[in-house]
């Protein structure tokens, strides 16, 4: 079930589930979103997402959009600071009781560590090959979701007065 449910959570950075022993690192997705949706509904239709942030309601629009697009599905979203989510995920992993399907965090250092620990599901959605290599893991263990750029503001704040 985790493979299909997590596949439907295409908006997420990472899915928490290790590939089955002896399988290839990942197989590119070949199913359409409609096929994934129907399979996910048949498996229970619930996706649990933990999203980094500081306001409990800041992903309400994401939940509404997801459930409007996939009306037979339920998206459980928990928003909290990334530094708390990663600790709670580590506790789930330590207790062998992972119930989160996908996570979107700002604590980027967690993803390579979790990959090294073998706890991430390697998943390459359709068009994964079109994502720039700098923004994804080569083995499809995780990928960037947002790119935020901080630039310089070169506008002058000096005022010019004429007499």
- Whole-number Å distance between alpha carbons of 83 and 61: 23
56 domain residue, yes or no: yes
Q: Is residue 146 in a domain?
A: no
Task: Please tell me the predicted confidence (pLDDT) of residue 161.
Answer: 53
Q: Which of 6, 23, 12, 13 is nearest to 137 (CA)?
A: 13
Is the residue at 90 inside a domain?
yes
Helix (H, G, I), strand (E, B) or coil at 120: coil
pLDDT value, residue 108: 86
Could you tell me the residue range of the domain that residue 95 belongs to? 2-135
For CA atoms 70, 76, 80, 81, give the dihedral sign: negative
Give me the CATH number covering residue 86: 3.40.190
pTM above 0.85, yes or no: no
Other Cβ atoms within 10 Å of 15 Cβ, number: 22
Confirm whether 147 is domain-assigned: no
Beta bridge partners of 102: 15, 49
In a domain, 127, yes or no: yes
Cβ-contact 78, 105 below 8 angstroms:
no
In a domain, 101, yes or no: yes
**Total tally of structural domains belonging to the chain:** 1
Does residue 85 contact residue 50 with C-beta atoms inside 8 Å?
Answer: yes
Residue 144 lies in a domain: no
In a domain, 26, yes or no: yes
Q: What is the tens place of the pLDDT at every residue in 61-79?
A: 999 999 999 999 999 999 9
């Amino acid at each position: 079930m985790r493979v299909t449910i997590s596949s439907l959570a295409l908006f997420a950075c990472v899915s928490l589930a290790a590939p089955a022993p002896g399988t290839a690192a990942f197989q590119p997705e070949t199913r359409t979103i409609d096929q994934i949706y129907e399979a996910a509904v048949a498996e229970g239709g619930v996706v649990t997402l933990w999203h980094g942030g500081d306001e409990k309601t800041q992903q309400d629009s994401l939940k509404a959009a997801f459930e409007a697009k996939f009306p037979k599905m339920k998206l459980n979203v928990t928003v909290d600071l990334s530094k708390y989510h990663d600790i709670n995920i580590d506790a789930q992993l330590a207790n062998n009781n992972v119930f989160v399907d996908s996570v979107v965090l700002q604590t980027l250092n967690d993803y390579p560590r979790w990959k090294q620990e073998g706890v991430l599901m390697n998943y390459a959605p359709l068009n994964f090959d079109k994502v720039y290599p700098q923004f994804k893991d080569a083995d499809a263990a995780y990928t960037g979701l947002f790119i935020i750029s901080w630039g310089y503001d070169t506008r002058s704040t000096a005022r010019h007065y004429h007499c």
